[in-house]
Amino acid sequence: MDLKGRKITLHDMTLRDGMHPKRHKITIEQMKSISQGLDAAGVPLIEVTHGDGLGGASVNYGFPAASDEEYLGAVIPLMKHAKVSALLLPGIGTVDDLLMAKDIGVHCIRVATHCTEADVSEQHIKMARKQGMDTVGFLMMSHMNSPEGLVKQAKLMESYGANCIYITDSAGYMLPDDVRERLKPVRDALKPETELGFHGHHNLAMGIANSLAAVEAGANRIDCATTGLGAGAGNTPMEIFVAVCNRKGIETGVDLWKIQDVADDLVLPIMDFPVRAGRDAITIGYAGVYGSFLLFAKRAAEKYGLSSRDILVELGKRKMIGGQEDMIEDTALTMAKARDAKKAAVAS
């Protein structure tokens, strides 16, 4: 498809989704240097929060190196052009967190719900809109809903006041056809002035292909992360997607050389392990499981002598959704009990 001259907004996830593979321990100094690099490279929008959004600091998801307020307060004053966004999951964060973010200078709030539960976002979307913020409705795990179902959920969020709706492939499960099938009807159903976005994961290495399919289907906001730093096998790698956009004539406003330098010089060195499609991340994409379960499943597998792949597949069977990290150790414990019972039966 000819996409020459299409203007899109790239939204950087390195300092939010990238918190997952960093166990939410990115330091304030790293946040500052990476965000300044992104700003200088022309990235217009940068997300900064705990990986699970405002208020995510918890036993369940992990305690971060600093509070949301400290991270945002450190990054926002340094930005010359870029605006900063914050993620908020109703049920985890509240309107109080939203107002804190607004006061500290956050420009854009992204209110995220599971793809069938948009009506829990009414309080938050309405408040963000009332505050005059760029207000995004973010439908997670969108592979678990039909195109018609997503249309309904997207329209709910639009009716509360969201000026942009995201179809989010949290599990990195979708293939380009899945993306087109879902985004086109949503694009057609929304008001022309409501923006449409896509957030991809690279578990089946479809981040770039899916993002391109999303632009073809009418999306004008695309989430990327430098080096792909994000949950599972990471997000759509920004430095590659910018190169692809340049080839297609899609205008992003991001400098290809500078963003590559941010990736290689600033982000790659902070990785704790290679964020890539290893066996667990592929399983997440293949089984359609929430991306940030990866490290939790690895830890539980180690603790209880199980295979992380088996745990992830079991979580998929049990239809666990985003935020149910508490069920990972629970599932591992139940699997370990079943294994021990079997062993005992064989022994007797």
Partner 1 sequence: MGNKIKCAVIGPGNIGSDLLVKLQRSKVLEPVWMVGIVPDSEGLKRAHELGLKTTAEGVDAMLPHVKEDGIQIAFDATSAYAHEENSRKLTALGVLMIDLTPAAIGPYCVPPVNLAAHVGKHEMNVNMVTCGGQATVPLVAAVSRVQDVAYGEIVATVSSRSVGPGTRKNIDEFTRTTASAVEKVGGAKKGKAIVIINPADPPLIMRDTIHCLTVDTPKVAEIEASVQAMIKEVQKYVPGYKLVNGPVIDGNRVTIWMEVEGLGDFLPKYAGNLDIMTSAAARTAEMFAEEMLSGKFVPAPTAA
Catalytic residue among 20, 24, 143, 202: 20
Tell me the per-residue interface mask from 27 to 66 with partner 1, x by CB under 8 A, - otherwise: -------------------------------xxx------
**DSSP per position, 43-71:** --EEE-S-TT-TT--BTTTB--SS-HHHH
Burial degree of 103 (CB within 10 A; 0-12, 13-18, 19+): exposed
Tell me the per-residue interface mask from 138 to 157 with partner 1, x by CB under 8 A, - otherwise: ------x-------------
Tell me the per-residue interface mask from 213 to 232 with partner 1, x by CB under 8 A, - otherwise: --------------------
Q: Does 319 engage in binding with partner 1 (CB under 8 A)?
A: yes
Helix, strand, coil tally for the chain in percent (to 5) = 50, 15, 35
Question: Using CA of residue 342, residue 303, residue 92, residue 312, what is the dihedral sign?
Answer: negative
Q: CA end-to-end span of the chain, whole Å? A: 66
Q: Does 123 engage in binding with partner 1 (CB under 8 A)?
A: yes
Q: Does 117 engage in binding with partner 1 (CB under 8 A)?
A: yes
Q: Does 345 engage in binding with partner 1 (CB under 8 A)?
A: no
**DSSP per position, 155-213:** HHHHHHT-SEEEEE-TTS---HHHHHHHHHHHHHHS-TTSEEEEE-B-TTS-HHHHHHH
Exposure string (b/e) for 152-174, b if CB count within 10 Å is 16 or more?
ebbbbbbebbbbbbbbbbbbbbb
Size of the site for partner 1 (CB under 8 A): 30
Q: Which residues pair with 221 in a beta bridge?
A: 9, 197
Catalytic residue flag (residue 20)? yes
Burial degree of 225 (CB within 10 A; 0-12, 13-18, 19+): buried
CB of 235 to partner 1, least distance (A): 23
Q: Does 302 engage in binding with partner 1 (CB under 8 A)?
A: no
Whether 302 and 293 have beta carbons less than 8 Å apart is answered as no
- Is the CB of 317 or the CB of 342 nearer to partner 1? 317
From the list 68, 105, 65, 111, the residue with the least C-alpha distance to 83 is 105
- Is the CB of 117 or the CB of 255 nearer to partner 1? 117
CB of 67 to partner 1, least distance (A): 13
CB of 121 to partner 1, least distance (A): 9
CA distance 130 to 128: 5
Of 121-129, 186-194, 196-204, 230-238, the segment contacting partner 1 by CB under 8 A is 121-129
Strands (E), the chain: 9-12, 45-47, 83-88, 108-114, 134-140, 164-168, 195-199, 221-224
Of 161-169, 203-211, 233-241, 330-338, the segment contacting partner 1 by CB under 8 A is 330-338
Q: Which residues pair with 235 in a beta bridge?
A: 201
Q: Does 116 engage in binding with partner 1 (CB under 8 A)?
A: yes
Of 20-28, 118-126, 204-212, 241-249, the segment contacting partner 1 by CB under 8 A is 118-126
Tell me the per-residue interface mask from 175 to 204 with partner 1, x by CB under 8 A, - otherwise: ------------------------------
Q: Does 326 engage in binding with partner 1 (CB under 8 A)?
A: yes
Local structure of residue 14 (DSSP, 8 states): T
Q: Does 120 engage in binding with partner 1 (CB under 8 A)?
A: yes
> How many residues make up the chain in this entry?
348
Residue of the chain from 24, 50, 114, 201 that contacts partner 1 (CB under 8 A) = 114
Q: Does 327 engage in binding with partner 1 (CB under 8 A)?
A: yes
CA distance 160 to 121: 8
- Is the CB of 53 or the CB of 200 nearer to partner 1? 53
Residue of the chain from 33, 36, 94, 220 that contacts partner 1 (CB under 8 A) = 94
Catalytic residues: 20
Q: By the criterion CB under 8 A, which residues form the site for partner 1? A: 58-60, 90-92, 94-96, 114, 116-117, 119-120, 122-124, 144, 318-321, 323-324, 326-327, 329-330, 333-334
